[in-house]
Amino acid sequence: MQNLFIQDNEEFTIKFTVASDENGFIFCDLDKESLEAVIENLDQMEVKDYNATFRKPSFGDSVELYDSIFSVNQQSGVSFNPLLARYNKIVALIKNWNLNGKEEKPSAEEIQTLHPIIATVIGIQIDAETGGIFG
């Protein structure tokens, strides 16, 4: 029988690696091998693996996302905010992450303070996992 509905327990996990140099500059990719391909002195940096688990999006999630990221007004017409889309996807779907040293559900405020490079990697992977159907 076909499963036509998203179940509450359907989820996916995004794994990523973060490296930082002595100046605090952040590098992030899906794994250490990907970082080694672009960073010569990775062995001299602090490197850690992280993961974030998300629930699968439903049609209702898509409706709410589109409603929050598009705006229409008479002067400028229709506008779209892709960074707000990325933020709203993460906030709406996150179940937990281990960025604080333990598996826990982050608050919207914690997600707002996430480093932009890490948020970009997570956002791209959400799109890859959901096939782009979630905005």
pLDDT tens-digit readout, 85-117: 889 999 999 999 999 888 999 999 999 999 999
Strands (E), the chain: 11-20, 26-29, 46-55, 70-73, 77-80, 94-97
134 falls in which pLDDT band (50, 70, 90)? Answer: low
pLDDT tens-digit readout, 42-90: 999 999 999 999 999 999 988 888 877 888 888 878 888 888 888 999 9
Token readout for 49 is 């693996």
Token readout for 32 is 């250490």
The H or E element spanning position 19 is strand 11-20
Cα Rg of the chain (Å, integer): 17
pLDDT at 133: 60
